[in-house]
Structure 1
Amino acid sequence: MESPFQLLRLPQLAIAEVLNLLNIEEQIIFSLSSQRAETLFKFLRNKQLKPKLVIEQDYSSCWIGKYVNQNRRLSEILIHVCSTRERPRGKVEKVKMGNDLVDLWIDSKNEQFFVRTHWRHLEMGIFVVFDYICNLFGVGIFVLAVSREHRKMIQMSAGTPIEILDLHDIHGEIDEYDLNYILSEAKSKYLVICVPPKSFQLKGHHKNHFDSLIVDHACWVTIDYLMSLDCIEIRIRERWFLNEELNRFLMHWINGGSPRLKCFVADIRDFKEELALKDINVQETEEQTRIYKSLSKDLEFENLEIRRNDGVIASIKYSGETFSIAVWPDCDDTLHRSNVVEAMKKLIRV
């Protein structure tokens, strides 16, 4: 029996108006109804609506977070995406995503959408879904959080722009070979990495241009590796730097190294000013308190400053076995900073 309302028979202008009235769940369902519907949606959709995708692995579910255009004053909607080996309960539809036939079911709860797929190889299921949605809305990945099959996930996401890459090795899978591969091939603006303490050896220098690098259990991080980076922000935890190493890094910055660096935070035990700040001119200023708006966590400084050879000023602080440096001016004008900060807070400990 023919449906009384044939949406695809309307003029394209009318179809575009209807699509703009649909929520994200309805838009995805519409695009999956046929190849023509998918093609029309990509052509006619509201280009100002830019979902931000968050793919999370090995937690209660995978996430796709949607951050809409602020000028339209639309609320944030989360679409959770999960791939499971066990066939789920409830209504399951077999749909086509790209060249794959996918068992898919969608439901909603508390204004959040859940997109689930049944797949023997979990990583492939995740890839099929996020690849389809990235192509559907013409977007990259906002956060890719990986906790297993790290090498495979990075290989599968190659070519897709990634804002924040969060790598946690909770199962102890990453070996020295994998670590060097990740540091060489991972492409993202912000990298958060946490691996169990092991005797890793870095092979060569991996000159990725991360805006932000945050490392937990960072015993494998060398001072030479840090000086080879081109980052805006570097945070190193659970790797105790020697005073001489800190001095070497600061002198590297003073002499023009790491020119994009705005923030550096590292653990140092038994801090000795005469060694850590050897041959460095430290000035006390009249300004007593200054707040640096970091990409991940704001920092408070007092009145100690150092200068780069070109005159650029940075505040320094040693407190609670942590040494911090912030280069002024700070980065509070970073594009979409509020979204980045909120996402980073969820990925790293305060």
Structure 2
Amino acid sequence: MPFPILRTPFVVLTEIISLLEPEEIVTASFCSKNVHRLLKGHYQQRELLGWRIYLNDCDSCGQVTIGLEGEINWKAVLSVLQISELDESKAKPIETNEYKRGFSLGSLDLYFEDRVMGTKWIVDYVTDLFNLNVYGLIIDTNGIWAIDWINNRQENMLECFKFDKNPKYYPNAEKDLDYVLRNARASDFIVIEDIFPVNYRFSGILGPVNHLLISPNGHWVTLDNLMNFDCIKIVINGSRISVTDVDSFLRHWRAGGSHRMTYLKVNFETHRNFENLEEQWEMIEADDLSDEEEWDGGYSITRNDGAKAVIDFSNYYFVMTVLPPREII
């Protein structure tokens, strides 16, 4: 027997809606214009606690996902595919003037002739329904178009941006990579996980952003790049930066460069030897620390303004942490 949701008392209706998961809300909103209006009105009047909207455009599939703040498992609420991928033999889709609608894996799939137009449509639909901006953007080369589109459609900057792995090189790879690095904007996280051509070089500035992760191929990052990154915490994997480059970066930091940076970790592609640099650094013993945390030994350097940083390293990594959190007596 159908449930008369539109004739339910307001207090009860509010409780029912609050129990729904994001994908259930989106699916329900397609039932009728009245249900869509009801749900949209509900979220226009309430602040959603910790919900985050992400646009994922990878592997020629546009998808809007929603997750709670701090969660890593986001739920797909609406997806877009090229209409040529629709297999009508499995299930008869619902047709509208703009798209065909199917259902799989707990969420709606919409099929458009123009996949990019369809992806823009689902982003506008979900953000309007929940009264939220796009929080994060995850793309491969198929989704580069979304960088400028997102930046232009909302006043709030993205919180996180991820450029995902591409399976192979292609003729315009370097041009696309350069565009992404120059134009990606996010306030909290930028993650670059693409496979870069061996001889690729970047001459621009990346940031400002709180966290930057470059993995697994950070071989393209040069000393100049490192000094120009405007980031608080940086992690680079697969680096080819030399010991001499590390020394030059430390001199740059001592002179006041990279002033916002508080943490740097570089994992090297091949063996490094720091013996010649150790003489320049001040050895730290456990008794020199102002707290009682365990410490395996290391070194410190002092910036010209008196700020200190702790250094740890091996043949395959270099870590620099600006104090605090650990203070040296």
Shorter-chain TM range is 0.7 to 0.9
How many residues get paired? 306
Specify every segment of 5 or more residues in structure 1 that has no aligned partner in the other structure, as ranges. Answer: 71-75, 291-299, 332-350
Question: Secondary structure at 2:256's aligned position in 1?
Answer: coil
What is residue 201 of structure 1 aligned with on the other side? 201
CA offsets 1:240-285 (integer angstroms, 9 cap, x no match): 112221111112222222222122122445534355457x432322
Q: Does 1:132 align with 2:125?
A: yes
**Offset at residue 93 of structure 1 (A):** 3.1
Tell me which amino acid in the other structure corresponds to 1:321: Y
Between the aligned partners of 2:30 and 2:311, the Cα distance in structure 1 is: 55
Between the aligned partners of 2:53 and 2:108, the Cα distance in structure 1 is: 13
Residues 1:7 and 1:191: Cα distance change in structure 2 (over 3 Å): same
Question: Secondary structure at 1:25's aligned position in 2?
Answer: helix
What is residue 242 of structure 2 aligned with on the other side? 242
Between the aligned partners of 2:289 and 2:57, the Cα distance in structure 1 is: 38
What is residue 286 of structure 1 aligned with on the other side? 286
Tell me which amino acid in the other structure corresponds to 2:59: D
After the TM superposition, which of the residue ranges 3-12 and 231-240 deviates more from structure 2? 3-12
Between the aligned partners of 1:164 and 1:101, the Cα distance in structure 2 is: 31
Question: Secondary structure at 1:162's aligned position in 2?
Answer: coil
CA offsets 1:39-80 (integer angstroms, 9 cap, x no match): 44233234234433342522999572422799xxxxx77226
Tell me which amino acid in the other structure corresponds to 2:130: F
Tell me which amino acid in the other structure corresponds to 2:159: E
Tell me which amino acid in the other structure corresponds to 1:26: E
Residues 1:144 and 1:287: Cα distance change in structure 2 (over 3 Å): farther
Residues 1:256 and 1:69: Cα distance change in structure 2 (over 3 Å): closer
Q: How does 1:252-271 map to 2 (within 5 A)?
A: 252-268=252-268, 269-271=270-272
Q: Does 1:214 align with 2:207?
A: no
Q: Does 1:147 align with 2:148?
A: no
**Offset at residue 13 of structure 1 (A):** 5.3
Question: Secondary structure at 1:325's aligned position in 2?
Answer: strand
Between the aligned partners of 2:118 and 2:287, the Cα distance in structure 1 is: 55
Between the aligned partners of 2:146 and 2:53, the Cα distance in structure 1 is: 15
Question: Secondary structure at 1:170's aligned position in 2?
Answer: coil
Q: Is the Cα contact below 8 Å between 2:223 and 2:249 reproduced in 1?
A: yes
**TM, length-normalised to structure 1:** 0.72
What is residue 294 of structure 1 aligned with on the other side? none
Q: Is the Cα contact below 8 Å between 2:233 and 2:264 reproduced in 1?
A: yes
Tell me which amino acid in the other structure corresponds to 1:164: C
Question: Secondary structure at 1:251's aligned position in 2?
Answer: helix
Q: Does 1:225 align with 2:225?
A: yes
What is residue 316 of structure 1 aligned with on the other side? 311
**Offset at residue 31 of structure 1 (A):** 2.6
Between the aligned partners of 1:36 and 1:43, the Cα distance in structure 2 is: 10
Match of residue 163, structure 1, among 159, 163, 171: 159
Between the aligned partners of 2:35 and 2:24, the Cα distance in structure 1 is: 12
What is residue 42 of structure 2 aligned with on the other side? 44
What is residue 100 of structure 2 aligned with on the other side? 103
What is residue 20 of structure 1 aligned with on the other side? 18
CA offsets 1:85-132 (integer angstroms, 9 cap, x no match): 31143253346xxxx833233355xxxx32322234444433322332
**Offset at residue 10 of structure 1 (A):** 5.9
What is residue 348 of structure 1 aligned with on the other side? none
**TM, length-normalised to structure 2:** 0.76
Specify every segment of 5 or more residues in structure 2 that has no aligned partner in the other structure, as ranges. Answer: none
Match of residue 326, structure 1, among 300, 321, 326: 321
Between the aligned partners of 2:8 and 2:239, the Cα distance in structure 1 is: 63
Between the aligned partners of 2:159 and 2:113, the Cα distance in structure 1 is: 28
CA offsets 1:160-196 (integer angstroms, 9 cap, x no match): 5433322123232453332232122111221221233
Between the aligned partners of 1:201 and 1:68, the Cα distance in structure 2 is: 35
Tell me which amino acid in the other structure corresponds to 1:101: E
Q: Is the Cα contact below 8 Å between 2:26 and 2:78 reproduced in 1?
A: no
Between the aligned partners of 1:287 and 1:61, the Cα distance in structure 2 is: 55
Residues 1:228 and 1:123: Cα distance change in structure 2 (over 3 Å): same
**Offset at residue 33 of structure 1 (A):** 3.7
Residues 1:169 and 1:21: Cα distance change in structure 2 (over 3 Å): closer
Between the aligned partners of 2:181 and 2:219, the Cα distance in structure 1 is: 15
Between the aligned partners of 2:61 and 2:296, the Cα distance in structure 1 is: 38
Between the aligned partners of 1:233 and 1:301, the Cα distance in structure 2 is: 22
Residues 1:222 and 1:16: Cα distance change in structure 2 (over 3 Å): same
Between the aligned partners of 1:69 and 1:171, the Cα distance in structure 2 is: 32
Between the aligned partners of 1:69 and 1:172, the Cα distance in structure 2 is: 34
**Offset at residue 227 of structure 1 (A):** 1.1
After the TM superposition, which of the residue ranges 301-310 and 211-220 deviates more from structure 2? 301-310
What is residue 184 of structure 2 aligned with on the other side? 186
After the TM superposition, which of the residue ranges 269-278 and 207-216 deviates more from structure 2? 269-278
